[in-house]
Amino acid sequence: MSPEKKPDNLINAEGLRVDGRRIDELRPIEMKVGVLKQADGSASIRQGKTYIIAAVYGPRELHPRHLTLNDRAYLRVVYRMTTFSVPDRKRPAPSRREKEISMVIANALSPVIFLEEFPKAVIDVFVTVIQADGGTRCAAINAASLALADAGIPMKSLVPSVAVGKAEGQLIVDLGDEEDKYGQGDIPMAILPHTEEIVLLQQDGSFTREEIIEALQMGINSCKYLHEVQKDALKAAYVGATSDEDEENDDEDDDYLDDL
Amino acid sequence: MGDWSSEIISHIDREHIISLLNKGERSDGRALDEFRPIEIEVGVVPAKAEGSALVRLGDTSVVAGVKVLVGDPFPDSPDEGFVMVTAEMSPMASPLFDIGPPREDAIELARVVDRGVRESETVDIKKLCIEHGKYVYSVFADVYPLEYDGNLIDASSIAVNAALATTRFPEMKVEDDTLVETGNILSIPLTNTAVEVTIAKIGTYLVVDPILKEEMVQDTRLTIAVDENENMTAMQKGGGTGPLTLDEIDQSMGIAIKRSHDIISAIKDAAKTIK
């Protein structure tokens, strides 16, 4: 029952967006690692009004057994929205949208995880959207890759993710809810930061070929920034906690973090 | 929360818990009738939910959100809105929770918390009527556990009460057969508050607010909803098949009444922060 109105203009005469951002500006972002005690790994992300928590359990025994993969671990992602995360109450049962998003998140994260190290096991990633305000699948990937790292899952890299899109004919990054609903298109994407290869790509709306390339380039730049934010969040959870007790190891920690 | 007596707990833990109880102690240093620290954060979903609260009870945490919608009244109560509480045992909260449709224990959690709110007539549902027989407000309070270290029922009950107490929604009226906002902001018409207090029976001992390891060795548990007037408004015996004597039930009510005062005032204090 939170009523929503369509804004007159998504970008005003000064080139600013509905929340005052420039076209290439991300929303304020806060990532935290290790937010849940029961999970093997966890992380939260606040990106504008979007608020998401991710938890990782595993590698552990897989139930039901018929899903077992003999040569690698099964990466199971469950993306769920709370009923109160959206303006109208979401029905509690999992929707088709939630199932599809779970799948594309798993596809984006799989390339960086050494799944072959854990044949027959499952690595569970549970994503709960507490408040949705656009870009939830991308924020979920940002948080989930931190939660995997927090769980000590061997990984090649973290996976940063952002949505790019178009409003009033201009390309924009990190779409908010209104830009997603009333804009001209949306491209959620995620990259491998060391190679800039793209591991999540979806699109709706209408773009020219040149616009797609330019939008993806803007997205890559934003993802590289997000990757730095992710690394800082990991450092905040681990380096700060160890440096007091064990100062000699500080250099090693730093080297390790540079490799992330 | 559920019946975890089938879950594996080491003999060492089991014996440790019982030998401590023989000395009148618990593994986390609490007295038998003492709650873990209660932390209540309200307004955690400010942009989308009409009311919300995140509650921490030691290492158990839950988030509850309230949505207020306009719907049709039930044919047998044309001048009453309704309140409904649901809960889901999200696998995020514990390695013991499975993916999939809610099992008996998740349904029990939701129904016990729902009864605590409904049976105490916490909400004056007649005031949730917009137009007799046509439009009423329907209030949904949904609970999602984030971390499970025992006693989800009490944590959920606190979260639902705090979320309801901080719910603000636009008043609607009927004008020329269509619903329009009046511009006023309403609160849920709360006439009472009832909170649930859960007591586990382990051997011959009664312990309040059990942690997970205590739930695993409990013979049974008793949840009691106590309102502001010290009336019992709901009870549920569950979490195991062990019997309770009349005296144990009487003692449990004594503990529940004593603890309910602190919990109700913690909820009221937290609710004051939202205008």
Residue B31 has a pLDDT of 96
The whole-number average pLDDT for the span B103-122 is 87
Place of tokens 């999200």: B90
Give me the tens of pLDDT residue by residue for chain A, a chain 260 residues long: 545 677 888 999 888 999 999 999 999 999 999 999 999 999 999 999 999 999 999 999 998 889 999 999 999 999 999 999 999 999 998 999 999 999 999 999 999 999 999 999 999 999 999 999 999 999 999 999 999 999 999 999 999 999 999 999 999 999 999 999 899 999 999 999 999 999 999 999 999 999 999 999 999 999 999 999 999 999 999 886 655 544 444 444 445 555 55
User: Which of A3-17, B64-78, B134-148 has the weakest average pLDDT?
Assistant: A3-17
CA-based radius of gyration for chain B: 20
Domain ranges of chain B: 6-271
Residue A162: CATH number of its domain: 3.30.230.70
Q: What is the pTM of this model?
A: 0.88
Q: Cβ(B17)–Cβ(B140) under 8 Å?
A: no
Work out the average pLDDT over B35-54.
97
- Per-residue model confidence (pLDDT) at position A247: 47
Judge whether B187 is closer than 8 Å to chain A, CB to CB.
Answer: no
Strand A121-131, strand A170-173: pairing: unpaired
d(CA B15, CA B181): 61
What pLDDT is attached to residue A6? 77
* Nearest of B206, B208, B222, B217 to residue B258 by alpha carbon: B208
CB contact B7 to A (< 8 Å): no
Q: Are strands A185-192 and A204-205 parallel, antiparallel or unpaired?
A: antiparallel
Give the B window 141-170 contacts with A, CB below 8 Å.
142, 144, 146-149, 169-170
Query: Does residue A6 form part of some domain?
Result: no
Find how far residue B105's CA is from the centre of its chain.
14
- Chain B residues whose CB is inside 8 A of the A55 CB are 92-93
B61, B155 in Cβ contact below 8 A?
yes
Out of B48, B52, B170, name the one closest to residue A132 (CB). Answer: B48
Write down the H helix ranges in chain A. 96-109, 136-150, 177-182, 209-243, 250-258
The predicted structure's pLDDT at residue A241: 60
DSSP symbols for B28-67: TS--TT-PPPEEEEE-SSTTT-SEEEEEEETTEEEEEEEE
Which pLDDT score is estimated for B24?
A: 93
Q: How many CB atoms lie within 10 A of CB B180?
A: 12
What pLDDT is recorded for position A260? 55
Stretch 204-263 of chain B: residues touching chain A, C-beta under 8 Å: none
**Strand A121-131 relative to strand A74-81, pairing:** parallel
Q: Nearest by CB to A131, which of B45, B149, B181?
A: B45
Residue in the structure block whose two tokens are 């009311």 = B51
Rounded CA-CA distance B66/B144 in Å is 12
Fold of B6-271: Ribosomal Protein S5; domain 2 (3.30.230)
Q: Residue B132 to residues B67, B74, B75, B80, B145: CA-CA distances in angstroms?
A: 21, 11, 11, 8, 37
Whose CA is closest to A42, among A62, A58, A64? A58
A205 assigned to some structural domain: yes
Number of other CB atoms surrounding residue B95 within 10 Å: 14
Q: Can you tell me the mean pLDDT for B92-113?
A: 87
CA Rg value for chain A: 19
Smallest CA–CA distance from B98 into chain A, residue: A63
The total number of structural domains in chain A stands at 1
User: A173 CB contacts (<8 Å, ≥6 apart)?
Assistant: A23, A24, A25, A26, A162, A163, A164, A218, A219, A222
> Max CA-CA distance within chain A?
59
| Residue ranges making up the domain that contains A78 | 29-259
Helices within chain B (DSSP H only) = 11-22, 104-119, 152-165, 212-217, 246-271
Q: How far is CA A47 from CA A30, A80, B83, B91, B259, in A?
A: 7, 17, 32, 24, 39
Residue range B189-237, pLDDT digits in tens = 999 999 999 999 999 999 999 999 999 999 999 999 999 999 999 999 9
Residue entry with tokens 């609490």: B30
| pLDDT band at B2; cut points 50, 70, 90 | low
Question: For residue A22, is it within any domain?
Answer: no
Q: In this structure, are residues A153 and A113 in contact, taking their beta carbons and an 8 Å threshold? A: yes
Task: For residue A161, give how far its alpha carbon lies from the nearest alpha carbon of chain B (Å).
Answer: 22
The pLDDT of B65-85, averaged and rounded, is: 93
Q: In this complex, which of B93, B99, B148 lies closest to A78 when CB atoms are compared? A: B99
Q: How confident is the model at residue A248, as a pLDDT?
A: 46
Residue from A5, A36, A38 whose CB has the most chain B CBs within 10 Å, to mutate = A38
d(CA B145, CA B154) in angstroms, rounded, equals 12
Q: How confident is the model at residue B177 (pLDDT cuts 50, 70, 90)?
A: confident
User: Which residue of A38, A84, A88 is in closest CB contact with B147?
Assistant: A38
For residue A80, the chain B residues in CB contact (below 8 A) are 90
Structure tokens belonging to residue B33? 């009738």
